[in-house]
Every structure is written in C-alpha cells, then in structure tokens.
Amino acid sequence: MSKEYRLQAPLRDEDVIKLKVGDRVLLSGIIYTARDAAHKKIIQALESGSELPFPLKGAVIYYVGPSPAPEGRPIGSAGPTTSYRMDSYTPRLHSLGVKATIGKGKRSQDVKDALVRHNAVYFGATGGAGALLSQRIESSKIIAFNDLGPEAVRELVVRDFPLLVVNDAFGGELYAKPNLPD
Amino acid sequence: MRTVTSSDIADRVAEMVVRANRFLPPDVLTAINRAKGNESSPSGKEILGQLEENAALARESGLPLCQDTGMAVFFVELGEQCRVEGASLREAITQGMVRGYQDGLLRKSMCHPLTRKNTGDNTPAVIHVDLVEGDGLKIFFMAKGGGSENMSRVTMLSPAQGWKGIKEFVINRVAEAGPNPCPPTMLGIGIGGSFELAPRLAKQALLRPLDQPHPDPEIARMEQELLDEINTLGIGPMGLGGDTTCLGVRISMAPCHIASLPLAVNVQCHSARHEEVEL
C-alpha cells in the first residue's frame, strides 16, 4: 500500500530510506533547478575544482526550464522535463550527496544502481501540467549560469510540491512495463 | 491578385502563438475528458484530472499550459494569387512569432546544436510553405515540445513489410518511449513519400482534429486499429499504467518509390497545442 509523506528539502538519509515506489510526497523547502546545459556545467565545475552553484549534500534537483514569470508571480509554468538526458551525469551527483531528482520518464540502470548505492530517490511530477505545478512554487532566484536563459540554475522555494516515488533506494520501479506480444 | 501586408501577418501570428500556448484545443480537451471516464486505473484517472485542471488554470491565468512552449512550427498555404507586401512571408511570420513569444512570456527554447547557446528569441521558426490555388493565405501553427519530438522516428521499411511492418514499428516505438513523451500521446504517421517527406506528412497529420477521422474509410479503419492495439499496451497516463496511452492516431499517406516504404512516427504529447489563422 502506498503511503503519503510531507518532507522538507534538503533531504536527509532518514527521509529517503522510508520511501517506497508509488509513495506520494508533498515536498517543501529549497530545491534547485538544473537541466541539460546546467548539468554539463556542474560536472565541468567539479572537474576543474571550481565553485558549485549549490551545496550537493542533501540536495533535490528539479529538471525544469520554466517559462518567464508574469508580473506578481515568482515563476511561469514549471513542469518537469524528460529525465533520461541527465542520466550520464546523475550517478556522480548522487555519489556526492544529492538525495533526489525530480523529472518525468525512465532512468538508466546506472542511475537506478546509484540510487541503491547512495540511498537516493527519483521522483516523478506530472509532465505537461506546468501551470498547475507552478502554483506550489513560492519563490525563484537565478543563482548560476544566467547566460543559459531558461536553463539557468534557480533556487526554488516550494510548498507541498506533489511528487510520486518512481525509483526508490531499493531498486524498485513504478512505471508500467508495456504488454508486448512475444 | 490579392495583397496581404506583412504587418497584418505578423500581428495575427503574434496573437496566434500566445493563444495556442494557453488554450488546449477543444477536441483534445474532449478526448481527455472522455478518457478519464473510461480509464480503469485510479492513478491514470487522477493524472487525466490534473491535465484538465491544468488546462483550466492556463485558460484563466494566462500561464502557458506547459513550460516547454515549443519549437514554433508553421505550415502555410499560400494562394498563387496572393501577394505579401512589405517584408517577405518568412520574415513576417518570424517577426510575429518573436513578438508573441516575448510579449506572451513564452519560453525561448531554440539553441545552437553543438554549443547549445540559446538563440534568445525562439528563432528560427520552422516554416513549411505550400503554394495552392486561389488567393487565400492560411497559416497553421504548432508549438512542438522537445520531449515528444525526441521520441519520434523515421525509418525506411522494405515494401514487403507492408502494413504489418508499419504496425510493428509504430507499436514498438510507443512501447519503447513508454512514459517519456508525456502520455497520453497522439501520433502523426507519415506513410510513403520520401526520406524527407514522410516526417513532414507525419507532423502535418497531427493538425487534424481528434474527432475527425481520415476521409478515406480504409485509412480511418487503420488509424482505429493502431489506436486500439496501442491502448492495450497498458502504459497509461504518465506511464503509470492504464488504458489511456494514446488519444488518437492520424495517418497521412503519399505514393513512394517502387523500392521504398518510408515511415515516420511523430509523437505528440497530450498538450497538443496548435492554432490556425486565415488572412
């Protein structure tokens, strides 16, 4: 039976270890946005030993490139982008303390193994519901790579951001396996 | 000869790109609502409900339906007796698109393919122009998201593979894409033509409303057959399992070389945003 949790980001090991595939999480606190180009730059920063845009320990990374904010709102539409494009970067980030990523779609076996090895989770948010999800974002601030435009790294404060545990720290997988004829 | 000014074109395009990103077409809304009624999976039902809620919120708030406001794809039918005055047709469409994306607070999603530097104004638009009879000017716009576009494929089948081979390729594509393109999806399928024409047919087929079956009853039957088989895959809304993997299959066919059977599958997410204007 799936459970519901309210969690506070950054996440601790004890938050992650209790999560199982199919559980619902309402996440509040500080999370960071990063997608394709930002991931590449974060890995470059790790390699050159330069400063990282945010502390990786306990971090939750949201794969999103929001639309511009209307006046009086912190952000525009802000739903998840497809996660597999970040797969080649993700295991390293988990090994350095990142506790969760938020996106949509399948992850590679390497990512799933990294979740088990480093006690981390992959959350799914509803794709194509960016207007709705933006209502759970209270503030947004660009903290790095401003030149990347929609791909810049943002610090978001979220309240009760609705998530599903798609891959847990025990090797579980939520996505349905297609019924293909043999 | 009828004359249309480029500034009129730009104004109408600017308005159209914003409208398309805020209002989900009625045929898509109806299909989502009907699917919600028929969906046996509770999580599937819930997701479809969220999509309806999202559409209502976008309509009321002016926020785009999805943060990925897309590549700007245009299909233009330009009458041979219609002349564009002022800037060129392409410039007019581009100017309107750029203004709409800027003023309508839509995301600029285009970049250099290798340096990945954002072009900053969502240019270039993808513009397909067909010369047609008469003096009309019709412009179709599609905001095409990257996630579903990435799940699209083109292949050159062997003529011997025929309909069976086409079905197998399409069904395997949907199965492999799984949750990635934001199901429930729609599929545009281009059969025949050439290596470059099949994907164009596939994309253009996505403009046909879901409640409008193909005028050729045989092709309409094929669309239904594919749709029914895809919906037994059990992928469901967002890949969480269920009966609603695909909301509609639309086929467009053209004759091809005797040696070939080109096939293109253009995957479209549930946020199937498109509009048209006539000038």
The pLDDT tens digits of the residues spanning B20-77 come to 999 999 999 999 999 999 999 999 999 999 999 999 999 999 999 999 999 999 999 9
A32 beta partners: A61, A155
**Which of B105, B120, B172 lies nearest to residue A67, judging by beta carbons?**
B105
Name the CA dihedral angle for B246, B250, B255, B258, rounded to a multiple of 10 degrees. 10
| Boundaries of every domain in chain A | 4-66+73-166
- Taking alpha carbons only, the member of A128, A106, A81 closest to residue B269 is A128
- pLDDT tens digits for chain A (182 residues)? 789 999 999 999 999 999 999 999 999 999 999 999 999 999 999 999 999 999 999 999 999 999 999 999 999 999 999 999 999 999 999 999 999 999 999 999 999 999 999 999 999 999 999 999 999 999 999 999 999 999 999 999 999 999 999 999 999 999 989 998 76
**Which of A76, A149, A151 lies nearest to residue B63, judging by beta carbons?**
A76
Across the interface, whether the CB atoms of A82 and B69 are under 8 A apart is answered: no
Burial class (CB in 10 A: 0-12, 13-18, 19+), B3: exposed
- pLDDT value at position A180? 87
What CATH code would you report for A4-66+73-166? 3.20.130.10
Nearest CA of chain B to the CA of A60: how many Å?
Answer: 20
Across the interface, whether the CB atoms of B67 and A36 are under 8 A apart is answered: no
Tokens for A68, please give them. 């511009």
Q: State yes or no: pLDDT of B208 exceeds 90.
A: yes
Q: How many CB atoms lie within 10 A of CB A170?
A: 13
Nearest CA of chain A to the CA of B161: how many Å?
Answer: 18
ipTM of this complex: 0.95
Average pLDDT of chain B, as a whole number: 97
Choosing among B67, B150, B247, which should be mutated to test the A contact, i.e. which has the most A CBs within 10 A?
Answer: B67
Q: What is the mean pLDDT of residues B194-200?
A: 98
Across the interface, whether the CB atoms of A104 and B271 are under 8 A apart is answered: no
Across the interface, whether the CB atoms of B66 and A130 are under 8 A apart is answered: yes
Q: What's the 3-state SS for chain B? A: CEEEEHHHHHHHHHHHHHHHHHCCCHHHHHHHHHHHHHCCCHHHHHHHHHHHHHHHHHHHHCCCCCCCCCEEEEEEEEECCEEEECCCHHHHHHHHHHHHHHHCCCCCCCECCCCCCECCCCCCCEEEEEEECCCCEEEEEEEECHHHHCCCEEEEECHHHHHHHHHHHHHHHHHHHCCCCCCCEEEEEEEEECCCHHHHHHHHHCCCCCCCCCCCHHHHHHHHHHHHHHCCCCCCHHHCCCCCCEEEEEEEEEEECCCCEEEEEEEECCCCEEEEEEC
- Spatial separation of the C-alpha atoms in residues B139 and B220, rounded to whole Å: 26
Q: How far is CA B98 from CA A76, A149, B21, in A?
A: 18, 16, 14
**Which of A64, A69, A178 lies nearest to residue B178, judging by beta carbons?**
A178
By the 8 A CB rule, do B74 and B138 touch? no
- pLDDT value at position A182? 65
**Residue A118 bears catalytic tag:** no
The per-residue pLDDT for range B226-274, each reduced to its tens digit, is: 999 999 999 999 999 999 999 999 999 999 999 999 999 999 999 999 9
- Spatial separation of the C-alpha atoms in residues B268 and B274, rounded to whole Å: 11
The per-residue pLDDT for range B75-88, each reduced to its tens digit, is: 999 999 999 999 99
The phi, psi pair for B183, rounded to 5°, reads -65, 155
A111 beta partners: none
Partners of residue A179 in chain B, C-beta under 8 Å: 232-234
Q: How many residues are given for chain A?
A: 182
Across the interface, whether the CB atoms of B269 and A130 are under 8 A apart is answered: no
Q: Which residue of B has its CA nearest to A124?
A: B238
The per-residue pLDDT for range B112-154, each reduced to its tens digit, is: 999 999 999 999 999 999 999 999 999 999 999 999 999 999 9
Within an 8 Å CB–CB cutoff, is residue B242 touching chain A?
A: yes
* Biggest distance spanned by C-alpha atoms of chain B: 58
Across the interface, whether the CB atoms of B54 and A129 are under 8 A apart is answered: yes
Tokens for B278, please give them. 């006539």
Q: Which residue of B has its CA nearest to A24?
A: B43
- pLDDT value at position A181? 74
Partners of residue B270 in chain A, C-beta under 8 Å: 128
Could you say which DSSP state residue A151 is in? G
Choosing among A135, A175, A179, which should be mutated to test the B contact, i.e. which has the most B CBs within 10 A?
Answer: A175
Peptide bond into A10 cis (omega under 30): yes
Tokens for B73, please give them. 């794809």
By the 8 A CB rule, do B55 and B62 touch? no
Q: What is the mean pLDDT of residues B181-209?
A: 98
Nearest CA of chain A to the CA of B169: how many Å?
Answer: 12
Of these residues, A39, A41, A112, A118, which one is catalytic?
A: A39
- pLDDT value at position A1? 73
A5 beta partners: A25
Tokens for B71, please give them. 């590549």
The phi, psi pair for B12, rounded to 5°, reads -65, -40
The helix/strand/coil state of A95 is helix
Q: Are strands A60-62 and B246-256 parallel, antiparallel or unpaired?
A: unpaired
